[in-house]
Structure 1
Amino acid sequence: MRAIVLGLCTAMVLVVGTAGAQMPLPATKPPDGATLFKQQCAVCHTLNLSEPMRQGPPLTKVVGRPAGKAEGFKYSDALSKADFAWDEPRLDAWLTNPQAVVPGVVMAYRQAKPETRAAIIAYLKEQN
């Protein structure tokens, strides 16, 4: 009987010992810009000029486009008076906090994660 008890205790020690071991986590995949755009932006924005306007302007060819100047979209007074073109740093700042870039705008979306902003911006650049 003693041999069986010792055998069970040894087995329990082995199980407990391996349970505490740190297993490396698999590398995380970088966020996919197309998926993130669909999840976080497409509710208000489209990338297809043939689709009806949504709450926000179409983002087709937004990189390099003057802010507040998409044809057919009615911008807020604040954004229609903006005097810059959309580039990567400006888009990054915009996605972080639109009101800090153009006070008085109505866009409520904010994205705190730099990797998410970068993926969305890269995807928008691909659409140019």
Structure 2
Amino acid sequence: MRFAVAFVATSTLLLVTAHAQAQDAAAGEKIFARCKACHEADVDKNKVGPSLKGVVGRKAGTHEGFKYSTAMQEAGQKGIVWDEANITSYLKDPKAFIPGNKMAFPGLKKDDEIANVIAYLKQHM
């Protein structure tokens, strides 16, 4: 009986956690507003930072026409690709994930905000 109760409690917790981390592109667009001073996502235009249109799946440091830091170029040469896991790590702490990169943004601390920004970026491939 204890096993059944524990199983139901664990299953419920997992479902709630998965739902809480579901990606919401509309919420991500609102969060991305903090990034728009330096980045575009819906158009392929570099600003202070590179365009993020099509960033999901792209090798780090490779957007045409943008002058990346040496650290970001080297990350791309080492095979860093902007998949969801790498974008998540980068957005949590850009300076720790790729030391020496030029991005001044300190990062996003909330997992749901990061997941939502990724959902927004995935709309702009």
TM-score, normalised via structure 2 length: 0.72
**Cα distance in structure 1, aligned partners of 2:65 and 2:104:** 21
> Which of these two proteins has the greater Rg computed from alpha carbons?
1
- Identity score, percent: 41
Which one of 32, 35, 49 corresponds to residue 30 of structure 2?
35
> Larger relative contact order (C-alpha < 8 A, sep ≥ 6)?
2
Superposition deviation, residue 107 in structure 1: 1.1
**Cα distance in structure 2, aligned partners of 1:114 and 1:70:** 26
State the secondary structure of the residue aligned to 1:123.
helix
2:116 aligns with: 119
2:66 aligns with: 73
Aligned residues: 96
State the secondary structure of the residue aligned to 1:108.
coil
Task: Identify, as 1 or 2, the structure richer in helix.
Answer: 2
**Cα distance in structure 1, aligned partners of 2:103 and 2:36:** 13
2:15 aligns with: none
Is it true that 1:85 corresponds to 2:92 in the alignment?
no
2:38 aligns with: 44
1:13 aligns with: none
**Cα distance in structure 2, aligned partners of 1:121 and 1:97:** 15
Superposition deviation, residue 108 in structure 1: 2.0
Task: Point out where structure 1 has 5 or more consecutive residues left out of the alignment.
Answer: 1-29
Amino acid at match of 2:30: T
**Cα distance in structure 1, aligned partners of 2:89 and 2:119:** 14
**Cα distance in structure 1, aligned partners of 2:40 and 2:108:** 18
